[in-house]
Amino acid sequence: MQAGQAISTVGSIPGYIKGSCAWQGKDIQESPSWIVHWTPAQIAELETAADHFAKTGIALENITTESFPVATLKPFIADVLHELMQGRGFVMLRGLPIQNWSIEKAATIYMGIGRHMGSLRSSNGKGHLLGHVRDQGAKVEAGARFYQTNKKLDYHTDSADIVGLLCLQKAKEGGESFIASSMALYNEMVKRRPDLIPAMFTPYPTDRRGEVPEGRDPWFEIPIFNWYQGHLSCVYLRHYIEEAQSRFPNAPRLTTEQIEVMDLIDAILQEPGFPLQMAFEPGDIQFLHNHQILHSRNDFFNWPEPERARHLLRLWIAPTTARPLPDYFASRWGSVTPGDRGGIIVPGTKLSVELTV
């Protein structure tokens, strides 16, 4: 059982989640502790490690802890990972001077930090280890994923233990990040509608958005809340759940109770004071623990100059010290082995790093 999750149970299902993981935005909005500023010495060590990596000639997709050496920073990165997985579940690292770096150097430092947390996972069917979150003119209604658009993102989780976002350029207007504790969400749901607890733990068919592993259906089935070996985990993206209902007649139909669960989730997440809002600045890195954090963003509007368009880089990370997951997660995550799970692998996928969209 994690230090951040002291559990009281009702039968085999948790009755209430206590600890630092079950926070509400109104209680920590003004707290400075979730924003961690890099020191000059730490930045210098990161730059030295990036210069070392560049001399090795190794491709970015093959970056390792040995090829990106940060001996002094190792305890700091371990502390960040501990806060993610056993504390509040998120952290903002602020102050990287990316305006002084090339995209290659920024990507190297970002991926190097991530690699010291765990293995890096493909975040799309193309095998990209470094995802580009920017408006590509794509349409969600045409099957695109939200990160390729400028549209508001509903609260959701990603298919990896840890997700990171590095801000290269912020939007002219909008694009603020909102996060919420799915542990606090669960507490509210149990308090308001205990009759819906069984429906929270039943499978919800979810659209894969065309990124279908070999031998799998174009949807996967997983509960929104999952209780396994003393850990409560959340998996949610309502739009893709509803898309599975409309696109795939063979997908199991949602029950009335399951729809009520999603309605209640969405209502609580919109309540003032429940989520935490933050605005990205260039050089910020936001890390989230997907099992206990939901995230979203506002619509955004870009500057007219293409080079000033909102641009974030995404990492999906699998730490070897991650929590155990039930076997059915493998339907989406490929495996449930800590350090070797999560990401999207389809036939023909070759892992790579693309530095331009």
Tokens standing for 84? 């993610």
pLDDT of residue 80: 98
Q: Which residue has the higher pLDDT, 269 or 141?
A: 269
Report whether 336 contacts 327 (CB < 8 A): yes
**Rounded-to-integer distance, Cα 198 and Cα 261, Å:** 10
In a domain, 167, yes or no: yes
- How much is the pTM? 0.90
- Helix, strand, coil percent content, the chain, rounded in steps of 5: 30, 25, 45
User: Looking at the domain assignment, is residue 356 inside a domain?
Assistant: no
The pLDDT score that the predictor gives to residue 329 is 95
CA–CA separation, 217 and 207 (whole Å): 9
Record the tokens describing residue 337, joined without a space.
């082995």
Inside any domain, residue 156: yes
How many independent structural domains does the chain possess? 1
Q: What is the dihedral of CA 248, 253, 259, 262, to 10 degrees?
A: -50
Contacts of 97 (CB under 8 A, 6+ apart): 43, 283
- Ranges 109-123, 126-140, 283-297, 308-322: which has the least confidence: 126-140
Q: Is 87 in contact with 20 (CB distance < 8 Å)?
A: yes
In a domain, 122, yes or no: yes
- 324 lies in which domain range? 6-333
Residue 94, domain member (yes or no): yes
- pLDDT attached to residue 188: 97
The string of pLDDT tens digits covering residues 215-246 is 899 999 999 999 999 999 999 999 999 999 99
Task: Please indicate, yes or no, if residue 355 is contained in any of the structural domains.
Answer: no
Q: How far apart are CA 180 and CA 89, in angstroms?
A: 10
Give the Cβ contact number of residue 183 at 10 Å: 27
pLDDT for 14 equals: 77
Instruction: Give me the CATH number covering residue 102.
Output: 3.60.130.10
In a domain, 340, yes or no: no
Residue 328 in any domain: the answer is yes
Mean pLDDT, residues 15-33: 92
SS3 assignment, position 231: strand
Is residue 179 within 8 Å of residue 90, measured between CB atoms?
yes
H or E segment at 121? strand 119-121
277-300 mean pLDDT? 91
Predicted confidence band of residue 7 (pLDDT cuts 50, 70, 90): very low
- Given a cut of 90, whether residue 20 has pLDDT beyond it is yes
Tokens describing residue 202:
């039943």
d(CA 244, CA 252): 9
Closest to 233 measured CA to CA, from 24, 89, 27: 89
